Amino acid sequence: MQCKVAPSILSANFNRLGQDIARCRETGADYLHFDVMDGIFVPNISFGLPVLESVRKETDMVLDVHLMIDRPVRYVERFCQAGADIVTVHVEADTEENTRKALELIRGCGKRAAVSVKPKTPAEAVLPFLELCSMVLVMTVEPGFGGQSFMADMMPKVTAIRRYITEKGLDCEVEVDGGVALDTAKTCADAGANVLVAGSAYFKAAEPAAFVKALHGLAVRT
Ligand code: DX5
Ligand code: ZN
C-alpha cells in the first residue's frame, strides 16, 4: 500500500488561497486537509463553512475536513452540504451516542465518515466506531496549531488501530496529523499510517512536488 499526502491548508497563505490549492493538486497531493477550529474544543479559531464552500468551487480534490469543534453532530450535515468528501469528528468532542449519530449523519449524506483521537486518548476509544468509518485520524500533536513537534510516542496507537483494522478486514484508512515531515513520515508509514497530513512541511518545502513524491514512495506496513 502506498502513502497518500494531505496538505493542511491551515499553513497556506490565505491571501492567495486559490493558488496554493491549485499547487496542491499540481504537485500530486491526494487529499486537501481542512482544519476547522471553534475556540472551544481547541484553543484556536480557524475557518469554517463559507470558506469550505469557496474551496469546493475551486478544486475537485478530495476535501478532508477535520472538525476540531465541540459537539460536531450539530454541524456535520452542513459540512457535507458545503462540499466535504471526508468529515472527521473527535471522539472527545461529545458522548459516544452523539459521535455515532454524527458518523451516521455523514454517511447518510453519502460522504466518508472518520473519527479522530487526541494524543491522550487511547486507541480503544475509536474501536467501537470503526465499522462506521472510512478513516481514523490519530493526532501526533495536541490539536489547535500547525508547526508543532511530532509525537513519536503515538506510533504504538497507530499500529494498534492498523492491526485491528486488518484483523477485522475493515475498509478503513489510518491518517496521522501533526509534525509530519520527511523523516517523521517514514516513522508513520512504518507504524501503519497510509494518509499523511502535512501543513508546515508541505507549504515550506522548497520543492513541494519532490516532498509529495518522497512520501508517495513510502511503503505502509499493514
Ligand atoms: C493541528 C491540525 C493540523 C495542522 C498540522 O491541530 O489538525 O492539521 O495543520 O500542521 P503541521 O503539519 O504543521 O504540524
Ligand atoms: Zn488536522
What is the mean pLDDT, run by run of 10 residues, along the chain of 222 residues? 96 98 98 98 98 97 99 99 99 98 98 98 97 98 98 98 97 98 98 98 98 98 92
Neighbours of 54 (CB within 10 A): 15
Across the strands, what pairs with 77? none
Ligand 1 closest atom vs CA 198:
12
Secondary structure (H, E, C), the chain: CECEEEEEHHHCCHHHHHHHHHHHHHCCCCEEEEEEEECCCCCCECCCHHHHHHHHHHCCCEEEEEEECCCHHHCHHHHHHCCCCEEEEEHHHCCHHHHHHHHHHHHHCCCEEEEEECCCCCHHHCHHHHHHCCEEEEECCCCCCCCCCCCHHHHHHHHHHHHHHHHHCCCCEEEEECCCCHHHHHHHHHHCCCEEEECHHHHCCCCHHHHHHHHHCCECCC
Q: What is the pLDDT of residue 68?
A: 99
Q: Where do the structural domains in the chain lie, given as residue ranges?
A: 4-216
Ligand 1 closest atom vs CA 10:
9
Q: What is the pLDDT of residue 155?
A: 98
Measured distance CA(213)–CA(196) in Å, rounded: 12
The closest residue, in CA terms, to atom 9 on ligand 1 is 146
Q: Which CATH class is domain 4-216?
A: alpha beta
Which residues have a beta carbon within 5 Å of ligand 2, which is an ion?
35, 66, 177
Q: Which residues are catalytic?
A: 35, 177
Taking the centre of ligand 1 as the mean of its atom positions, its distance from the CA of residue 128, in whole angstroms, is: 26
Taking the centre of ligand 2 as the mean of its atom positions, its distance from the CA of residue 34, in whole angstroms, is: 7
Q: Which of 37, 200, 211, 212 to mutate to test the pocket of ligand 1 (most atoms within 8 A of CB)?
A: 200
Q: Which amino acid is present at 112?
A: R
Ligand 1 pocket by Cβ (under 6 Å): 8, 10-11, 33, 35, 66, 141, 143-148, 177-180, 197-201
Q: Which of 44, 197, 211 to mutate to test the pocket of ligand 1 (most atoms within 8 A of CB)?
A: 197
Measured distance CA(34)–CA(47) in Å, rounded: 9
Region for 148 from its dihedrals, namely left if φ exceeds 0, alpha if ψ lies in -120 to 50, beta otherwise: beta
Are 91 and 125 within 8 A, CB to CB? Answer: yes
